[in-house]
Amino acid sequence: MKEVSKPKIGVIGLKGLPAYGGAAAVGENIINHLSDEFDFTIYSVSSHTNLKSGYWKSCFQIVFKKLPFKKINAVIYYLRSALNALLFKKFDLIHLHHRDATFVIPLLKLRYPIVVTTHGMILTSKWIRYKFFFEFEDRYFLKHANFITTVSLKDKRLVRELISEEKIMYIPNGVNADIKIESKKENYISFAAGRMLPDKGCHTFLEALDLLKVKEKAIIMGDLKQNPDYEKKLLQWQEKIGGIKFTGLIKDKRRLFELIAGSKFFVFPSENESMSMMLLEVAALNVPIICSDIPENRDIFNDKEVLFFKVKDAKDLSEKMEFASKNPDKMKEYAVNAYDCLKKKYLWSQIAREYKNVFNRFIINGDKYYDT
């Protein structure tokens, strides 16, 4: 009996697998859960993976060599990926990650239906200088996608201002709730971010630690080298407070999870987000969370699941950390409720099915209603 070939999907924007955070982790989980039903080809660049072109797990990864021009490397990566897909491949659909990739949609639409996933419509401090470019893309390119998924309700509200709502769907990020990490609880507070930028609020966390009447130890995980001026500021806080350990970026997820799981609670002081994978992963580890009260976080958890503090308010955060240290049983209750919420709403096994339905809308059903 002849084997029926699976629909072929080209994935642009993840930049490299295996992932160690961010949008790549989202894409990797979608692919892992749907690889039995779709044949995925991932376009990557050597700056984001140590692998060479070839099969990785059940998908094929095309790895372009990075260029020495760091500022335009991403733009060239998107163009090379689009041209390769257009000239040398035959896909049934392109899954494009990130709004900054939408300038290649007119090229790809010559042959393929396009599903775009946005991973944040609010620019971080790293990208704010390129605001004009992102706004230009939103105005002239994003609308030409066949369909758009957003990982947060906030993103959906913003995209809805630009594009008809019938072309948009909110599909949240997810988590694997069966994370098995054995780590002895120790007397420290944890904080982690892939890129340690001002938007992540680490300075607020450090200021709050300094305000505590009873001093606490803290372990802070993340890449400090993203912003030299900010790195200098954080290291000054470290010297002033004492008891603060910076680990740098930890790419080994198990080691990262061990450190988080060993803490008495996790602080998430971010000033803006799309939908944080880190927040979900900490909840999956059953670690109590204190997080900023930004809408993006309140869209995920409620007041019975995490302890909120006023964003950018070090005094309020300090008071919440003092409460958490004095009330471990209450914090455990928060953690249990957050974990239950994950199992109901944010499991990858459930979320992947939503992506499957979107893909099949254009692959199997040939949905032209959304074509532009």
Structure tokens at 315: 């005094």
Asked if 246 contacts 224 with a C-beta cutoff of 8 angstroms, the reply is yes
Reported confidence tier of residue 3, pLDDT bands at 50, 70, 90: low
Answer yes or no: is 368 within a domain: no
**Nearest CA to 208 among 104, 296, 323?**
323
- The CATH number of whichever domain residue 283 belongs to comes to 3.40.50.2000
CB atoms inside a 10 Å sphere around CB 261: 19
Residue 116 domain boundaries = 8-174+347-363
Shared domain check, 219 and 137: no
Answer yes or no: is 203 within a domain: yes
- Sort strands 59-64 and 54-56 into parallel, antiparallel or unpaired: antiparallel
DSSP 96: E
**What's residue 179's pLDDT?**
79
Shared domain check, 276 and 151: no
Shared domain check, 213 and 159: no
pLDDT tens for 183-193 read 888 999 999 99
DSSP-derived 3-state class of residue 94 = strand
**What's residue 2's pLDDT?**
47
Answer yes or no: is 1 within a domain: no
Answer yes or no: is 86 within a domain: yes
Shared domain check, 129 and 257: no
Shared domain check, 216 and 145: no
Whether 369 has a pLDDT exceeding 60, the answer reads no
Shared domain check, 78 and 166: yes
Asked if 285 contacts 190 with a C-beta cutoff of 8 angstroms, the reply is no
Shared domain check, 105 and 242: no
Quickly list H helices, the chain.
22-34, 73-88, 105-108, 131-140, 153-160, 202-211, 228-241, 253-261, 277-284, 295-298, 314-326, 328-345, 348-363
pLDDT tens for 243-253 read 999 999 998 88
Shared domain check, 26 and 168: yes
Maximum Cα–Cα distance across the chain? 73
Q: Which residues pair with 8 in a beta bridge?
A: 39
DSSP-derived 3-state class of residue 292 = strand
d(C-alpha 244, C-alpha 189), whole Å = 10
Shared domain check, 195 and 340: yes
- Average pLDDT on 158-174 reads 91
Reported confidence tier of residue 68, pLDDT bands at 50, 70, 90: confident
Q: What pTM did the predictor assign? A: 0.88
The domain total for the chain is 2
Answer yes or no: is 370 within a domain: no
**Nearest CA to 211 among 237, 184, 229?**
237
Reported confidence tier of residue 206, pLDDT bands at 50, 70, 90: very high
Shared domain check, 334 and 196: yes
- Average pLDDT on 163-182 reads 88
User: Is there a cis peptide before residue 228, judged by omega within 30 degrees of 0?
Assistant: no
Whether 30 has a pLDDT exceeding 90, the answer reads yes
Q: 365: which residues sit within 8 A by CB, 6+ positions away?
A: none
Answer yes or no: is 369 within a domain: no
Answer yes or no: is 88 within a domain: yes
Answer yes or no: is 214 within a domain: yes
Shared domain check, 358 and 238: no
Shared domain check, 262 and 247: yes
Asked if 57 contacts 32 with a C-beta cutoff of 8 angstroms, the reply is yes
Interaxial angle between packed helices 202-211 and 314-326, expressed in degrees from 0 to 180 and rounded to the nearest 10: 60
Q: Is the dihedral of CA 183, 254, 177, 25 positive or negative?
A: positive
Count Cα neighbours of 73 within 13 Å in the Cβ-side half-sphere.
14
User: Is there a cis peptide before residue 18, judged by omega within 30 degrees of 0?
Assistant: yes
47-80 in b/e form (b: 16+ CB < 10 A) is bbbeeeeeebeebebbbbebeeeeeebbbebbeb
